[in-house]
Structure 1
Amino acid sequence: MTRSNARAQVETSSQPLELLLFRLADEQLYGINVHKVTEVVYCPPLRRMPGAHEVVAGIASLRGRAVPVIDLAHAIGQAPAVPTPYRLVILTEFSRSLQGLLVSRVDRIVSTRWESVRPPPSKGGAGFVTAITSVAEEMVEILDVERVLAMVAKSEQSVSSALSTEARQVLAAGLPPVLVADDSSVARGQVQRALRALGLDCVLKNNGAEALEQLRTWAELGPLQERVSMLISDIEMPQMDGYTLVSRVREDSRMSGLHILLHSSLSGRSNDDRARNSGADRFLAKFQPDELASAVVEQLACRR
């Protein structure tokens, strides 16, 4: 093996990814990270809620909790699901909320690696396909469930005016941009708007590989701190996940001091611990704009 091939192999080595595979009425094979899945159940009786988004099929009582059930086919631009006795609900927990995803059939759980996951060749599923991979020679579309949730959720999406005003007084003028890596267009937009509310510019990248390439380019030009203020990265990304990105950054002496915040829809203490063990400075679950803004201001205020 040549040195360049050896480096390429190390460069693409990443964390394992387990996907729950399922199908909608179109028979396309879809996937979702199993770490977002709580359980799979047959669809219970649904109660329609007045004023709910049209893709919310209804509210179900699951494990003593009222859970909104999203018609996933309808949400990504297909025809609404036809009621059958066999349809299933994938109960998911991500982005600080619990919701059910209504699907036609659940296939199986498979294990792959992030380097085998690629960005979609085009925006399929009305832009809801965030990545693709293959299993047994069949293409799997990994859905941007964060975008689905953002479409139906009624949560605050903007930094509060008080925090925005305070940040502009605290932060130094002319700070370098913040580098943001996230494969979800919705998440990139959310972070960008939050940073702009603080008076900060940002450079957006679609995955860890692109972010690492940008950091190396900047490092070749001189001291990294003159070109980037900090890195905000998702964890689940095609080609190179957030944990691997952090590892690569920490291995490079030119960028080892870069402040890194992992910002993921995965939540829970285990992800917090894993993020810190990977070398990241902080972990935040998506998406609370004021919490993200406060974390950024806390880090960058010392540069004034």
Structure 2
Amino acid sequence: MSGILDSVNLRTQMVGQNRLELLLFALESEQQYGINVFKVREVLQCPQLTEVPRQTSAIKGMAHIRGETIPVLDLSEAIGRSSIPATDRQRCFLVVAEYNKRTLAFLVRKVDRILNTQWDQIMAPPTEIGVENYLTAVFEHDGKLIEILDVEQILADLYPMSTEVSADVATDRVKEQAKQHHVLIVDDSSVARNQMQRSLESLGLKVTSANNGRIAWDLLNSLTSRGIDVTEYFLMMISDIEMPEMDGYTLTSMVREDERMSDLFVVLHTSLSGGFNVSMVKKVGADGFLAKFNPNELASVVVNRIDDISAH
């Protein structure tokens, strides 16, 4: 266990092409779940928690970690399973993670190990299970199915976010100009896609969405094969970075290497924290980077792109 805890900080400094490292953990059963190591700040034994008055959600209290007060979410209860009794917490672990500029600690029963794989080995959940679940991907390893949770959906249910763009960004002029444009959004999280789509459509934009990089690539390749100039067809592509089958870095690299679409304007966005994002965005040739999700920041990127095109 100490090897896992000691290695998290080192591993979070690494990033690769279409590469994924999963921190495996368990909740109330032997079922294994995974979280992207790049989201993880540290893993530690659960300390004594400070209770939250009138606590009515899966937030079980606050932990004081390295001078910072961090809310603790019982991940088992958050996904509809049995909560971890207070008497068991000190035998459990906190996975301290950063999502969308918010730091939280996930209370889990057991932390197993770090598994190194590739995004193209990670599959989207079967469509037959429907959309009312917290799965964003699945992965088969050693004959067992590892489930990757849609943390964005879990947090959105706990902390609903507005998708409304402020009036000083969504002006009448912007809305009139936006009607002429079409944006491609790529994200494996249904809540993230819906948030972006609502915000962009409120500007008057036409929006096409894809569930992962592979689907987006197939769409772009299909359009170009039919003689459609995707750099004219789409105002821009806004893509998540971490997705099953093909991540955003790989998708962007493939777009840049294909002369039919190499000039497509690409913005990458992610809930991942860390300075490596900026350097990787430049390395793969993306035109911009967004930490998700903020409707005004998202809209401003689109507005600036429209203004640049209008100026030319």
- Return the TM-score normalized by structure 1: 0.90
Partner residue, 1:40: 43
Partner residue, 2:92: 87
Letter paired with 1:165: T
Q: Distance in 2 between matches of 1:111 and 1:256?
A: 31
Compare 255-264 and 136-145 and name the one that shifted more: 136-145
1:29 and 1:140 in contact (8 A); partners too = yes
Look up the SS of the partner of 1:164 in the other structure. coil
Letter paired with 2:229: P
Look up the SS of the partner of 1:119 in the other structure. coil
Letter paired with 1:103: V
Compare 145-154 and 198-207 and name the one that shifted more: 145-154
Partner residue, 1:9: none
- 2:127 paired with 1:104: no
Partner residue, 1:273: 279
1:197 is aligned, of 197, 202, 205, to: 202
Q: What aligned pairs does 1:68-83 form with structure 2 within 5 A after superposition?
A: 68-83=71-86
Structure 1 gap ranges (5+): 1-12
2:72 and 2:106 in contact (8 A); partners too = yes
Work out the percentage of aligned pairs sharing the same amino acid: 43
Is the alpha carbon distance of 1:19 and 1:172 closer, same or farther for their aligned partners in structure 2, counting shifts above 3 Å? Answer: closer
- 2:110 paired with 1:116: no
Q: Distance in 1 between matches of 2:219 and 2:207?
A: 13
Tell me which stretches of 4 or more aligned residues in structure 1 moved more than 4 Å: 122-126
Look up the SS of the partner of 1:39 in the other structure. strand
Structure 2 gap ranges (5+): 1-15
Q: Distance in 2 between matches of 1:18 and 1:249?
A: 24
In the TM superposition, residue 171 of structure 1 has moved relative to its aligned partner by 2.6
Look up the SS of the partner of 1:300 in the other structure. helix
In the TM superposition, residue 153 of structure 1 has moved relative to its aligned partner by 2.6
Q: Distance in 2 between matches of 1:263 and 1:38?
A: 19
1:59 and 1:68 in contact (8 A); partners too = yes
Look up the SS of the partner of 2:138 in the other structure. strand
- 2:296 paired with 1:293: no
1:60 is aligned, of 51, 55, 63, to: 63
- 2:257 paired with 1:257: no
Q: What aligned pairs does 1:165-244 form with structure 2 within 5 A after superposition?
A: 165=171, 168=174, 171-175=177-181, 177-221=182-226, 222-244=228-250
Report the count of equivalent residues: 291
In the TM superposition, residue 233 of structure 1 has moved relative to its aligned partner by 0.4
Look up the SS of the partner of 1:216 in the other structure. helix
1:19 and 1:109 in contact (8 A); partners too = yes
Look up the SS of the partner of 1:268 in the other structure. coil
Q: What aligned pairs does 1:12-51 form with structure 2 within 5 A after superposition?
A: 15-50=18-53
2:178 and 2:203 in contact (8 A); partners too = no
Q: Distance in 2 between matches of 1:123 and 1:103?
A: 25
Q: Distance in 1 between matches of 2:198 and 2:50?
A: 35
Letter paired with 1:300: I
Is the alpha carbon distance of 1:52 and 1:232 closer, same or farther for their aligned partners in structure 2, counting shifts above 3 Å? Answer: farther
Letter paired with 1:281: D
Look up the SS of the partner of 1:45 in the other structure. coil
Q: Distance in 2 between matches of 1:87 and 1:79?
A: 14
2:21 and 2:36 in contact (8 A); partners too = yes
Deviations 1:176-233 (A, max 9, x none): x211110000100111011012111111110001001111122123222342211000
Q: Distance in 2 between matches of 1:34 and 1:26?
A: 22
- Return the TM-score normalized by structure 2: 0.88
1:158 and 1:289 in contact (8 A); partners too = yes
Q: Distance in 1 between matches of 2:150 and 2:101?
A: 16
Is the alpha carbon distance of 1:29 and 1:303 closer, same or farther for their aligned partners in structure 2, counting shifts above 3 Å? Answer: same
Letter paired with 1:48: E
In the TM superposition, residue 101 of structure 1 has moved relative to its aligned partner by 0.4
1:170 and 1:301 in contact (8 A); partners too = no
2:163 and 2:195 in contact (8 A); partners too = yes
Q: Distance in 1 between matches of 2:101 and 2:36?
A: 16
Q: Distance in 2 between matches of 1:28 and 1:42?
A: 20
Look up the SS of the partner of 1:127 in the other structure. coil
Partner residue, 2:142: 136
Is the alpha carbon distance of 1:179 and 1:154 closer, same or farther for their aligned partners in structure 2, counting shifts above 3 Å? Answer: closer
